Chain A
């Protein structure tokens, strides 16, 4: 496969995931009908069997996909936007204020964020949109230092200083001078953020902390846990476990490929 085909494939994958995610947010799907036989083994009609309520396992797995991707993408992008703006502000402000802002972020980064997300989710039992907000809120501080360093690097350039001398507004500087060169890095961070959000969201759903009216991979696995005495329970976990792992694996590949190409690390790979 040449580099070009790979890029095209990656773009197609992202576009498909994005379309699926927009669809997932726009029209949440109802749960699968409870019409089949209970705990049916795999057959042509039910490729992954049915669950304790007679719902088709494969259908439920597929129904959960748009929601999972939508929450992941929404939380990943929202967190990135927040950390970009904050990092830009920390780089633009006078050094003392900027340092104070970064210290504040250190304090937030030190907190065990997934445990805090559990507390917030316990108290508010969030729907999809609010869940994305919680996930974005707990993950945005992690990238601020990198983005502030990136912004500071760009601000050393002559083009940026010239624009400053001409009296460009901060928003203009951000849009025309800082974002374009940082594009690939931001894309990599967005995908890695999405990956983390999908993982966290499925974890919260597994603990029963999300809206139970529509199926999610995490809640499907949680529902299967008390049914393990049933030998066909293996088919209850196959679908959601595979879907979850494969989507995370896909995001990992995409993210690390972009990251390796565009984010300088210690390793000369």
Chain B
């Protein structure tokens, strides 16, 4: 959703922005509630004893009735279904995501350990995708209808038709196993004693291919969008003036075209986070990268329902929060622009 830019004077504009922002925050809270409800009811819909689902069949079997009652009380299982949901929502607000059966630790702790790895992948992929998308999109848009445009579009369309995990498998096979240029798995060399720069280099070395594949996947989508934006900009008089003043090809693209598409590109970058986080699941699975996606994959296979539930919640809430923050910032920016 794009917040409206208002034409009225400062106080009225500020009020309109506040109103729109309040609406956006309400929508955000609604989305969070729906997310919590879906994660709650998906697990409750499973047949069988809820405690066995939450803690694993094996760990519940030997429980004394007293311990069972303590666990049931912790999850509010004696209440009605709506009551149970409220209890669950209360637990979430307190940061309690339950207990992982496979890792025998609180889910929040397990997720906290893996989160930095995924953030590293996603942020570096975002930067690379932005750079690649701007480069290709602007070039294709400026040369619309010519050979270079056709080549870029054909290449990007072909790449866009490869699902992310296929790209990842091909990259793993070619770059990590065939040519053996990069490590095939992990986030760092096991038992490394490296510190400081050596450690940073090692981590970057391991992240290069996974982040590159993730970036490539988003670059294709950004290229289409940026090309379309550039096509609408390139006929405008200010570019002709700049050309007449003798601005070179690079200056034209970097100082005149890029700033004019950046506002919309920023909006799209925020929307990109959903796909990047979902994409990291596939990339981390293929490259055995120690992030959230890998955890999710393992959780799915070992039927560690609380872990999967917690991961879906964390990923979902993260995406929703980033999108809301971006909408608020963009709304503020466009409003300022409209005011002059």
Contacts and interface: CB of A to CB of B under 8 A. Distances in A.
A163 to B, nearest CB: 33
Contacts of B170: 237, 241
B31 A114 contact: no
Contacts of B303: 122
Contact of A267 (B157, B231, B286): B231
B169 A237 contact: yes
B181 interface: no
B300 interface: yes
A69 to B, nearest CB: 15
B112 to A, nearest CB: 18
Q: Chain A CB within 10 Å — which of B163, B303, B309 has the most?
A: B163
A111 B160 contact: no
A228 B172 contact: yes
Nearest to B165: A206
A31 B305 CA distance: 30
Nearest to A237: B169
A119 B296 CA distance: 10
Given A119-B309, A120-B42, A112 B300 contact: no
B161 to A, nearest CB: 4
Interface residues of B, number: 52
Contact of B43 (A123, A199, A218, A246): A123
A203 B165 contact: yes
Contact of B27 (A106, A119, A252): A106
Q: Chain B CB within 10 Å — which of A111, A233, A252 has the most?
A: A111
B158 interface: yes
B27 A249 contact: no
Nearest to B34: A107
Q: Is the interface of B mostly helix, strand, loop or mixed?
A: helix
A45 interface: no
B129 interface: no
Interface in A182-234: 199, 202-203, 206-209, 218, 221, 224-225, 228, 233-234
A248 interface: yes
Interface residues of A, number: 43
Q: Is the interface of A mostly helix, strand, loop or mixed?
A: helix
A110 B27 contact: yes
Contacts of A209: 300
A208 to B, nearest CB: 6
B305 A111 contact: no
Contacts of A224: 169
A116 interface: yes
Contacts of A233: 173
B320 interface: yes
A103 B27 contact: yes
A42 interface: no
Contacts of B315: 112, 115
Given A107-B27, A228-B177, A244-B166, A207 B300 contact: yes
Interface of A: 103, 106-108, 110-112, 114-116, 118-120, 122-124, 199, 202-203, 206-209, 218, 221, 224-225, 228, 233-234, 237, 241, 244-246, 248-249, 252, 265-269
Nearest first, the 8 closest Cβ-Cβ pairs linking A and B are A249-B161, A248-B161, A107-B30, A267-B228, A114-B278, A119-B312, A110-B31, A123-B42
15 contacts: A103-B27, A110-B320, A111-B31, A111-B34, A118-B312, A119-B309, A122-B300, A203-B165, A206-B282, A221-B169, A241-B170, A245-B163, A248-B161, A249-B158, A267-B228
Interface of B: 1, 27-28, 30-31, 34-35, 38-39, 42-43, 45-46, 157-158, 160-166, 169-170, 172-173, 177, 228, 231-232, 274, 277-278, 281-282, 285-286, 296-297, 299-301, 303, 305, 308-309, 312, 315-316, 319-320, 323
Given A122-B299, A221-B166, A225-B169, 9 more contacts: A110-B28, A111-B31, A111-B320, A112-B319, A116-B38, A119-B309, A237-B173, A248-B163, A252-B160
